């Protein structure tokens, strides 16, 4: 069965349409209305090989918080819907991502037990038009709605753009590995409980 999903999330603050194909090739069409966030979600699609179509319209005239957070929620919900029962997935994965002077580690457990550990410090208050504090909000929203345990640690780095981009690329590569089907257990859930 194809691991694809489509959702619409609409609140008084945002309207977001998302489509995902877990077994894609990394094709994307992203429009959040926030240039830097678009760039990060394009990286996420490209390096995870998850096809993502995402269109968000939000109250960016107030600030970028609602659109950023709700984009994380919507993408997480869509991904969770696409992987369904989690039968056969490898479940765990981690990635070390170097980007010039930066090194970031991302570890994931697709467990239906949402939790975020965020050990990332940035030296600037904005990247593009985004307040840098919003990146933690995005990862928190994504981990909660996708139902994943997610540890994001910047080990070292100076350039804030490189640090955040390595976080998204680390998430991408970790998702790619964790959601891959293990042929030895393709009809089984990877848990002694029998469910995730």
Q: Is 192 among the domain residues?
A: no
Lowest mean pLDDT among 51-55, 60-64, 74-78, 160-164: 60-64
Which 8-state DSSP code applies to residue 194?
S
Cα–Cα distance measured from residue 106 to residue 174, given in angstroms and rounded to the nearest whole number: 7
Per-residue pLDDT tens over the stretch 3-12: 999 999 999 9
- Note whether residue 194 is domain-resident: no
**Does residue 192 surpass a pLDDT of 80?**
no
Overall number of domains in the chain? 1
Q: Give me 141's structure tokens.
A: 């929203």
Chain-centroid distance of CA 130 in Å reads 17
Residue 74 lies in a domain: yes
The angle subtended at Cα 176 by Cα 148 and Cα 22, nearest 5°, is 85
pLDDT at 88 over 80: yes
- pLDDT score of 185: 82
Q: Give dist(CA 14, CA 6) in Å, integer.
A: 17
The CATH number assigned to the domain holding 119 equals: 3.30.230.40
Domain hosting 90: range is 4-185
Does a structural domain hold residue 193? no
pLDDT, tens digit, 9 for 90 and up, residues 107-153: 999 999 999 999 999 999 999 899 999 999 999 999 999 999 999 99
Determine the average pLDDT of the residues in 80-103.
94
Residue 20 lies in a domain: yes
In a domain, 196, yes or no: no
Instruction: Answer whether residue 87 is part of any domain.
Output: yes
Does some domain include residue 120?
yes
């Amino acid at each position: 069965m194809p691991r694809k999903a489509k959702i619409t999330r609409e609140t008084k603050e945002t309207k977001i349409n998302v489509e995902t194909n877990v077994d894609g090739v990394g094709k994307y069409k992203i429009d959040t209305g926030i240039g830097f966030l678009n760039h990060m979600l394009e990286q996420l699609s490209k390096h995870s090989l998850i096809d993502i179509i995402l269109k968000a319209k939000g109250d960016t005239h107030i600030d970028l918080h609602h659109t950023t957070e709700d984009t994380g929620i919507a993408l997480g919900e869509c991904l969770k819907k696409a992987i369904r029962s989690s039968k056969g997935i490898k479940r765990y994965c981690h990635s070390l991502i170097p980007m010039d002077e930066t090194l970031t580690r991302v570890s994931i457990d697709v467990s239906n037990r949402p939790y975020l550990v965020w050990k990332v410090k940035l030296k600037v208050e904005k990247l593009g038009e985004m307040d840098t504090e919003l990146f933690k909000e995005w990862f928190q929203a994504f981990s909660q709605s996708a139902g994943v345990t997610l540890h994001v640690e910047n080990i070292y780095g100076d350039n804030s753009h490189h640090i955040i981009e390595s976080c998204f690329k680390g998430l991408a590569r970790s998702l790619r590995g964790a959601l891959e089907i293990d042929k030895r257990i393709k009809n089984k859930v990877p848990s002694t409980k029998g469910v995730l």
